[in-house]
Amino acid sequence: MILSNDTDRIWLFDYDLTLYAESERAVLNSLDRRIALYVQQVANIDYDHAQEIRKRYWKEYGTTLAGLRAVYGVTPNDFFDFIHQPETLVYPDFAPQKRALLEILKGPKYIFTNGRSDWSRKGSSKMGILDCFERIVGLEDMNWDGKPQVSAYETMEKVLEYDGFWKKGDDPSRIVLLDDALHNLRPAHDRGWKTVWVNPISEENGSFTDFRIPDLMDLLKLLG
């Protein structure tokens, strides 16, 4: 199957483990460590138990933050201010090859992320690709209710409408979401968006994935 690359396309990219690869997992690991430390502090538990809760909340609620808000009533900006400590974090490498790929894609491009936008802004700037995107739609733009909550996708469509690239009644398959998290693709598929699962590891698949690639650079193969 070929994914057409034309001016009517709207490209939405998750940030973590999508714009940068599984080979740079140290980036996400550095953030996950801070998240576990935050869980440890809020729940008053040991670090290993905090890591377990971090992962469990991600699976059950879509994001660890959503679980912390539901169970402990934490404030999102307190959470992000704690985990986004620059001296403790790792960022992706400069990636001119990804810039070249993004420049090939016709139509507007966005970062659509479950993180607060300063995290992906800093990282994509380090990669040298920040200016390839119209804007970053971060968790704060979704009223802190991120993917896979339906409201997150509704917000993204409103942003596209506001920016003049899409409106209700348009063909939803013009919108392409690339994401490493399988559960984030189902609501997009249900809305009629095209879905690309970026995952080099799992053998799992879903009827709601239109395409699967192991790495963002493999998008070139889909474009034919």
Tell whether 161 and 131 lie within a shared domain: yes
- The per-residue pLDDT for 147 is 95
Same structural domain for residues 134 and 44? no
User: In which element (H, E) is residue 198 found?
Assistant: strand 194-198
Percent of the chain with pLDDT over 70: 98
144 near 61, Cβ under 8 Å?
no
Share of the chain above pLDDT 90, in %: 90
Average pLDDT over residues 153-162: 98
Q: Is residue 4 part of a domain?
A: no
**What tokens were used for 81?**
């201010």
Instruction: Say yes or no: 73 and 132 in one domain.
Output: no
Domain shared by 66 and 37, yes or no: yes
129 and 208 co-located in one domain: yes
Q: What is the pLDDT of residues 92-137, one digit of tens each?
A: 999 999 999 999 999 999 999 999 999 999 999 999 999 999 999 9
In a domain? residue 199: yes
Six-digit token string for 198 = 């970026």
Q: How many domains does the chain have?
A: 2
**Distance between CA atoms of 174 and 190, rounded to whole angstroms?**
14
203: confidence class by pLDDT, cuts 50, 70, 90: low
Q: Taking residues 175-182, what's their average pLDDT? A: 96
How far apart are the C-alpha atoms of 140 and 96, rounded to whole Å?
Answer: 29
Q: Do residues 35 and 104 both lie within one domain?
A: no
Give the residue numbers spanning the domain of 102.
10-20+92-222
The mean pLDDT of 12-21, rounded to a whole number, is 97
- List residues bridging with 175 in a β-sheet: 10
Structure tokens at 103: 């420049």
State the pairing for strand pair 10-13/135-137: unpaired
Tell me, yes or no, whether 84 and 115 share the same domain: no
Question: Helix (H, G, I), strand (E, B), or coil: what is residue 109?
Answer: strand
Q: Is residue 149 predicted with pLDDT exceeding 80?
A: yes
Q: Final residue of a domain: which of 72, 88, 104?
A: 88
Mean pLDDT for 181-194 is 96
Model pTM score: 0.94
Q: Which of 137, 114, 112, 118 is nearest to 62 (CA)?
A: 114
Q: Is residue 1 over pLDDT 80?
A: no
CATH number at residue 199: 3.40.50.1000
pLDDT of 197 > 80? The answer is yes
Same domain, 145 and 185: yes
Q: Is residue 38 domain-shared with residue 100, that is, in the same domain?
A: no
CA separation (Å) from 219 to 32, 104, 180? 27, 11, 13
Are residue 48 and residue 148 in the same domain, yes or no?
Answer: no
For 29-67, the pLDDT digits (tens) are 999 999 999 999 999 999 999 999 999 998 899 889 999
